[in-house]
């Protein structure tokens, strides 16, 4: 037994780097798994524009959904409005955390409506920069979202007082996650910025860990545990620590 790995891909837009996206699509096919795709419903972030604009984007997404892919809403405009890390402070910036409840609900409802217009309905939310606060969670609940792809841990969990929301943890450090004997985690892939050397690494990881990889749809079937406030505080501290380690790395 060892830890199972599900995969999520962030920053999915009509003008993403399609060559890299297809590279991963092939890798998933070879491995026999399907990932979670985080679609930006109304992208205004120029940093995410990395390829030609595909008019048939939503047809491609719906086709992948039919093949077993899971779809999530990744923010609204993907523009960072605040320097607030929120409840899971991996980064000190957010599209949502720190804004009023009303403003957040407006943004989230806009994103949801945009997806719906294009034939996509999902109850899974993926926060840009992993940052959300209490108001984000409240607004998501109000709009009918029930799952969040974030947090640390080895199985899906529900945290008080957000009983209607289930969190599906992501990997703190993939290397150390792989050594764990049980549980499930999420490998986070940003295909837009992947280099040729990174692709080789991913090929190696997928061929070495293929047997432990599961489709995201399988991950969603796992029964969540309920976490208390101490676990929530530990998660907050771990996210702060990771942010500290990443900024140290930048200086070395
Ligand atoms: Zn993103």
More confident residue, 252 or 129: 129
64 contacts 29 by C-beta, under 8 angstroms: no
pLDDT at 251 over 60: no
> Band of the pLDDT at 250, cuts 50, 70, 90?
low
pLDDT for the residue 252: 44
Radius of gyration of the chain (CA): 17
Over the stretch 33-74, which tens digit does the pLDDT of each residue have? 999 999 999 999 999 999 999 999 999 999 999 999 999 999
pTM score, whole prediction: 0.92
pLDDT at position 60 is: 98
Domain tally, the chain: 1
φ/ψ (deg, to 5) at 173 = -135, 120
- CA 10 to ligand 1 centroid distance, Å: 5
Give 90-134 pLDDT, tens digit per residue: 888 999 999 999 999 999 999 999 999 999 999 999 999 999 999
The Å distance, Cα 45 to ligand 1 centre, comes to: 9
Instruction: Give the helix/strand (H/E) hosting 26.
Output: helix 18-31
> How close is the Cα of 1 to the center of ligand 1, in Å?
32
Q: Residue 117: its pLDDT value, please?
A: 98
- We report the CATH number of the domain holding residue 153 as 3.20.20.370
Separation of 149 CA from ligand 1 center, angstroms? 12
Cis peptide before 187, with omega less than 30 degrees from 0? no
**pLDDT (mean) for 189-215:** 94
- Domain limits at 134? 4-251
Average pLDDT of the chain to the nearest whole number: 91
How far is the centre of ligand 1, averaged over its atoms, from the C-alpha of 164 (Å)? 24
Whether residue 38 contacts residue 9, with contact meaning beta carbons closer than 8 Å, is answered with yes
Q: Higher model confidence: residue 30 or residue 227?
A: 30
Q: How far is the CA of 165 from the centre of ligand 1 (A)?
A: 21
Neighbours of ion ligand 1 (CB under 5 A): 10-11, 128
Percent of the residues in the chain that have a pLDDT greater than 70, as a whole number? 95
């Amino acid at each position: 037994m060892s830890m199972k790995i599900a995969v999520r891909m962030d920053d999915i837009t009509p003008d993403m780097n399609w060559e890299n996206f297809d590279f991963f699509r092939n890798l998933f096919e070879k491995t026999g798994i399907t990932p979670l795709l985080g679609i930006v419903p109304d992208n205004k972030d120029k940093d995410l524009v990395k390829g030609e604009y595909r008019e048939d984007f939503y047809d491609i997404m719906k086709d992948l959904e039919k093949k077993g892919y899971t779809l999530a809403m990744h923010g609204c405009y993907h523009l960072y409005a605040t320097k607030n890390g929120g409840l899971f402070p991996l980064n000190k910036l957010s599209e949502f955390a720190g804004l009023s409840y009303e403003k957040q609900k407006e943004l989230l409802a806009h994103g949801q409506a945009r997806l719906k217009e294009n034939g996509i309905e999902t109850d899974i939310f993926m926060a840009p920069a992993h940052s959300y606060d209490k108001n984000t969670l409240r607004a998501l609940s109000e709009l009918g979202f029930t799952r969040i792809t974030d947090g640390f841990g080895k199985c899906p969990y529900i945290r008080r007082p957000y009983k209607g929301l289930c969190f599906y943890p992501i990997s703190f450090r993939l290397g150390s996650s792989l050594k764990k004997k049980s549980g499930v985690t999420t490998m986070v892939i940003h295909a837009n910025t992947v280099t040729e050397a990174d692709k080789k690494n991913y090929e190696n990881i997928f061929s070495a860990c293929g047997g432990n990889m599961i489709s995201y749809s399988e991950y969603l079937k796992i029964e969540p545990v309920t976490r208390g406030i101490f676990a929530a505080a530990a998660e907050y501290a771990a996210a702060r620590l990771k942010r500290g380690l990443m900024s140290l790395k930048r200086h070395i």
